[in-house]
């Protein structure tokens, strides 16, 4: 399963989710039963092989679909947030290299979250 996934993007999302929830690696480990060294390797983008069960547990913990990290994913789940759906489309675009797709997705997500925050404040 890990062969077809962008593990660097997965690790980036893991770190972002953990920080947003203001948790330590140990706290995530306690919640997911994934070891701290494994979590750290994934977050740093140094994990070249991750067991399928670990990927599934972490994706569920992050509340995202593993399809989001698959370059070949075409179908969108109705459960995806708007930024996740945009990122999935960008990753599936054959005209964009992975680095460009990631950069565009990060830019869109940052703008979306900033505007959503402003809108929520009134």
Angle at which helices 36-43 and 7-20 pack, to 10 degrees?
110
pLDDT tens digit sequence for 12-43: 999 999 999 999 999 999 999 999 999 999 99
- What confidence score (pLDDT) does residue 16 get? 92
- What confidence score (pLDDT) does residue 75 get? 43
pLDDT tens digit sequence for 3-12: 478 888 899 9
How many domains are there within the chain?
1
Q: Which of 85, 82, 8 is nearest to 48 (CA)?
A: 8
CA atoms within 13 A on the CB side of 16: 13
Q: Answer with the residue of higher pLDDT: 32 or 1.
A: 32
pLDDT band at 118 (very low <50, low <70, confident <90, very high): confident
pLDDT tens digit sequence for 37-94: 999 999 999 988 888 889 989 999 998 887 777 754 444 444 567 888 788 778 777 7
Please, are residues 80 and 109 in contact by the beta-carbon 8 Å criterion? no
* Alpha helices (H) along the chain: 7-20, 25-32, 36-43, 52-62, 82-92, 98-121
| 3-class DSSP state of 5 | strand
Q: Answer with the residue of higher pLDDT: 120 or 110.
A: 110
Q: Which domain holds residue 79?
A: 2-121
Residue 65 sits in a domain of what CATH number? 1.10.260.40
Name residue, tokens 């750290």.
40
What φ, ψ does residue 96 adopt, rounded to 5°?
A: -110, 135
């Amino acid at each position: 399963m890990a062969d077809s996934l962008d593990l660097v993007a997965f690790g980036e999302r893991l770190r972002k989710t953990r920080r947003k929830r203001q948790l330590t690696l140990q706290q995530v480990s306690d919640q997911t039963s994934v070891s701290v060294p494994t979590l750290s390797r994934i977050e740093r983008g140094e994990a070249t092989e991750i067991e399928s069960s670990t990927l599934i547990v972490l994706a569920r913990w992050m509340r995202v679909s593993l399809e989001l990290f698959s370059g070949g994913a075409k179908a969108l789940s109705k459960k995806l947030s708007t930024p996740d759906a945009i990122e999935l489309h960008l990753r599936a675009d054959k005209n964009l290299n992975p680095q460009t797709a990631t950069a565009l997705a990060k830019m869109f997500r940052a703008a979306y979250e900033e505007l959503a925050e402003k809108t929520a404040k009134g």
